[in-house]
Amino acid sequence: MTRTKPAAFVLAFVWASTAALAQAPQQAEATFHNQQGQEVGKAIFTQTASGVLIEIELSKVPEGKHGFHIHESGVCDAADGFKSAGGHFEPAQHQHGYMIADGPHAGDMPNQFAGSDGRLAANVLNSNVTLSEGPTSVLDADGSAIIVHANPDDYASQPSGDAGDRIACAVIEKR
């Protein structure tokens, strides 16, 4: 029986680990809080070849459709109704909405639905943003936030789709 040297195993393990890390997709995460400061959910952001896949799961959300957007600043101050997150993320100066010729904002995303149990779970692909460096990165110097609004987005009204109050906010942070 031949004995393999421990150093060879260590070298193989380090090589395999490095290769696996090099292929791991870039990710970010966010923790949602409501206006009362309670933690109400999480989001995981994964860079894909087609854009950023956003997996969300929230609780304590009023039943019905809700506007869902990435906002321009990574600040979620409940004291100001999350207005601290700024407007919708839009580095290219497009207008808001899917129904507008010069739209949508990079941070515009389809409405999401919360059930009668207050649970909102979804997977959304946003092909207008990235986790990589550059003008469409939601991980820029001042960060970005993801917001759930009280009402559905009408996909046309300026500047934010008449989606109402911001009821949950989460700062997007690199993993």
Question: What pLDDT, on a 0 to 100 scale, did the predictor assign at position 175?
Answer: 84
Q: Which residues contact 49 (CB under 8 A, 6 or more apart)?
A: none
Tens of pLDDT along 133-160?
A: 999 999 988 999 999 999 999 999 998 8
Give the residue from 141, 123, 133, 149 showing the smallest Cα distance to 70: 149
Question: What pLDDT, on a 0 to 100 scale, did the predictor assign at position 15?
Answer: 54
